[in-house]
């Protein structure tokens, strides 16, 4: 994903449009399972997958939080 520059700074692409929340949760679960399966054979790859899963988990929480805030603002 490329950053789009403007006068103020840069704009991030809207993650809700790129991937749905369910797709992100499925990817997170796949990363965790894959990392668990690689613990004994390849610890470096396992650590990388756990790190990517952690980043994805933060993204999922951010998206869930933004969905809740958007719903609260409309009432």
Q: What is the mean pLDDT of residues 12-34?
A: 77
- In the predicted structure, residue 57 carries a pLDDT above the cut 50: yes
pLDDT score of 75 more than 50: no
Residue-level pLDDT at 31? 86
Neighbours of 60 (CB within 10 A): 16
Which tokens in the block code for residue 13? 């692409």
Domains of the chain, by residue range, sit at 15-73
The predicted model scores a pTM of 0.61
Per-residue model confidence (pLDDT) at position 19: 66
| Burial bucket for residue 17 (CB in 10 Å: 0-12, 13-18, 19+) | exposed
Predicted confidence (pLDDT) per residue in 28-46, tens digit: 898 899 889 988 898 898 8
């Amino acid at each position: 994903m490329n950053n789009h520059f403007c006068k103020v700074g840069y704009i991030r692409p809207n993650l809700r449009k790129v991937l749905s929340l369910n797709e992100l949760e499925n990817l997170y679960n796949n990363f965790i399972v894959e990392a668990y399966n690689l613990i004994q054979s390849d610890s470096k790859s396992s650590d990388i997958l756990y790190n990517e899963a952690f980043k994805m988990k933060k993204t999922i929480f951010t998206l869930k939080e933004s969905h809740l805030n958007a719903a609260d603002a409309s009432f």
